[in-house]
């Protein structure tokens, strides 16, 4: 069964969630603050994270950003009903979805299952974005039927964007996923390779710049 990490400082909510999810057959870990959540995610990598944004110390947005920079784990954030900016920040920080507090357990469960389906590896070898297909098994890219020839790095960058289609990725997160830390080439390889890809992929544009933050692949 998938492992879920619950990050929530309010003991009664954490407890309620833990019991509900264990009952549904999930393996559940609980962290009551951001620092221990990050440590737990490193030690026992979860498949899904339920992340409250209002946490003492390291706040939920920052926890979200760091989880996302380190892995492709599915993240559903819990946010107060009136905190619209939190919700947007959460999504920009890499969350897959959000649930408003106070929430109904079944709604949260449905969101978690949807995120899990979307993210489960190998469930989909071919990712389609508009008229483009990224075949991750064959490492091939096609647009309107025609094959587009890419260098290995260009392909890796496109695959990272495609696996996160319609989600904004920070420049740093892209850099870490594609280049890791051992890069000694261009000053801003992400920008340089995005421009190579844009040239090869042609119109209409599928890689969109989110100013001051990063990129998103969408039709
Ligand atoms: Ca809280």
Question: Model's pTM, two decimal places?
Answer: 0.58
pLDDT in tens, the chain (219 residues): 789 999 999 999 999 999 999 999 999 999 999 999 999 999 999 999 999 999 999 999 999 999 998 888 999 999 887 777 888 888 889 999 999 998 999 999 999 988 887 776 555 678 888 889 998 888 899 998 789 999 999 999 999 999 998 889 999 899 988 887 666 666 789 999 999 999 999 999 999 999 989 999 998
Distance from C-alpha of 127 to C-alpha of 66, rounded to nearest angstrom: 26
Q: Do 111 and 158 reside in the same domain of the chain?
A: no
40 CA distance to ligand 1 centroid (A)?
A: 18
The predicted pLDDT at position 184 comes to 61
Please, what is the Cα angle at 95 between 114 and 74, to 5 degrees? 45
DSSP code per residue over 82-125:
T-HHHHHHHHHTT-SEEEEES--HHHHHHHHHHHHHHH-TTS-S
The reported pLDDT for the residue numbered 55 is: 93
Distance (Å) from CA 7 to ligand 1 centroid: 9
**Strands 126-129 and 207-210, how do they pair?**
unpaired
Q: Which residues surround ligand 1, an ion (CB under 5 A)?
A: 9, 52, 54
Q: Look up the domain containing 78 and give its range.
A: 3-119
Same-domain status, 95 and 186: no
> Residues 74, 159: one domain?
no
Residue 183: predicted pLDDT? 61
Same domain, 100 and 167: no
Q: What are phi and psi of 137, to 5 degrees?
A: -80, -45
Looking at the fold, whether 94 and 45 belong to one and the same domain comes out as yes
CA of 67 to the centre of ligand 1 (A): 18
For residue 207, report the distance from its CA to the centre of ligand 1, in Å.
Answer: 35
Under 8 Å between Cβ of 93 and 71: no
Q: What is the pLDDT of residue 85?
A: 83
97 lies in the same domain as 189: no
Last residue of a domain, one of 91, 119, 147: 119
- Are 194 and 167 part of one and the same domain? yes
Sign of the alpha-carbon torsion through 67, 69, 71, 73: positive
Q: Are residues 52 and 147 in the same domain?
A: no
């Amino acid at each position: 069964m998938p492992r879920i990490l619950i990050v929530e400082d309010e003991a009664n909510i954490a407890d309620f969630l833990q019991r509900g999810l264990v009952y549904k057959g999930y393996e559940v870990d609980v962290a009551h603050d951001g620092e221990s959540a990050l440590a737990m995610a490193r030690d026992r990598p979860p498949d899904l994270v339920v992340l409250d944004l209002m946490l003492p110390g390291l706040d939920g947005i920052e926890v979200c950003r760091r989880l996302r920079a380190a892995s492709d784990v599915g993240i559903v954030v819990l946010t107060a009903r009136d905190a619209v900016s939190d919700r947007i920040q959460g999504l920009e920080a890499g969350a897959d979805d959000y649930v408003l507090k106070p929430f109904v357990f079944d709604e949260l469960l449905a969101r978690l299952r949807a995120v899990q389906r979307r993210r489960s590896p190998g469930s989909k070898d071919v990712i389609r974005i508009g008229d483009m297909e990224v075949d991750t098994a064959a490492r091939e890219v096609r647009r309107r039927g025609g094959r587009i020839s890419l260098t290995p790095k260009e392909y890796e960058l496109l695959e990272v964007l495609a696996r996160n289609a319609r989600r904004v990725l920070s420049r740093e997160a892209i850099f870490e996923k594609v280049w890791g830390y051992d890069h000694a080439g261009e000053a801003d390889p992400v920008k340089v390779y995005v421009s190579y890809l844009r040239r090869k992929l042609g119109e209409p544009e599928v890689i969109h710049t989110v100013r001051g933050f990063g990129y998103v692949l969408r039709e």
